[in-house]
Structure 1
Amino acid sequence: MDEKIVTEIAKSIPDSAWNRLVQTACDTFEKAVAPLTESTSGIGRLIKAKFDRLLNEEKVLVAETFAKAKQKITESSKEMKGHHNLNIVLQVVQESCKQTDEKLRDLWANLLATELTEGGVHPEIVSILKRISSDDARVLLKVSENSPKINQKFIETLGHAFSGMSPVTIYRSKEDSFSEKLLERLGLIKKEIPHWKLTEIGIGFLEVVSGISSSDEEISNDQFPTHRE
């Protein structure tokens, strides 16, 4: 959703209703970070302090992102680890608060869920996610369909986040699209004439932002090579 539209919608909501919405968002965020506060109080307090400094409109977006991450963790039947990379979590707060695109916010929620349950999310994955648009993500999804190391469940998981969006045409005339060139520059895809293929970095990136699998549906390292310890 366009930022201007979000602003106009926010302005159209009566003050009393908006205050309730913000309070609900704050309560939702408190519940989402409660496990962090219980396991590592210092991290929990820092995240809460970062949240408290946000504008009310930003708090709503961040609360939604954290709530989604918590829901994904619950549905996966996985448990949160006791140690997390504070910088990764704080960057999720910082980036999701200005991400008005709901589908990209869902990818931030996936990244957060991965960090909280599995850990080891590389900071570069955060940097890449900050630089791509929905169109770029759709192109990346389309390219993944041509990559033998990506299984169908993985494609369906990421594709669900972008359901309802128009299909992406990877090949446009004789020239590649801007998204393809950007994704190539980011190291996510490479050209193997006449097709685009995912790189190992692209596979690792998609593994993190596509969501966590349930505890009884673990994906083998042969399918998803990672560098996590």
Structure 2
Amino acid sequence: MGRIANRQENAKKASMRERRRRVETAVCKGIPQWQIARMEGVDDSTICLDLKVIRKEWTKEDEEWGKSHRDRRIKEFEQLRRDAYKSFDRSKRKATVVPCQTCGGKGYIPDNGACPICEGKGYLRTEYKVAGDSKFLAEVRACTIEIAKLESLYPDKKVQVGVNGKVEHEHKHVVMNGNPYLNASDDDVLEIWKQMERLRNGNGRGTMNGDRVIEGKVIKKKEKKEKKGKKA
């Protein structure tokens, strides 16, 4: 009896995984939730639970992808910054060392130890007739800024504005190698994946729930029906 129950449970789980794969494909195509429920022969609450699980999987996958790519990008920018520093040092020419007059360039004073003026170095400073090419310092600065962005030090505020000009949603979002999921709500995650799926399929003019974009304005389904009624 136990084996039969286990087989039934495994078959149930496998069927649920297959359904969620179909739901994921359908929702990325912009098919409404109620229509997916009718296609699968289940109620809306089942599809709602499936979408909740799917969104969590998307967010988890993207966090792992984002972290690995972020770490790789940080290492690349750190190497570029080191190379820029070296290039800046090599661009300095005709250096002149100014010796310490207190210790006579020796770095120490007899019976007193290290020279307190030059701190035992024997010279005060190095003067350059050519200080170095500033373009390398600009590269260092640019790399430092990019590293700071990747390390989430520069938050970027995102604002969603509706067709009426009012703010519908806003949140702070950290620039992380193009990662749009950080601090995003479930609805944001779902919309982002829909947009990605439309781009893959070569259809970038659709919006959520089968709405259409006409001359830069989102035309809702209700508005379409009203317009048809007016024409009639």
Q: Same fold (TM over 0.5)?
A: no
> Which has more strand, going by share of residues?
2
Normalising by structure 1, we get a TM-score of: 0.23
> Which has more helix, going by share of residues?
1
| Larger Rg belongs to | 2
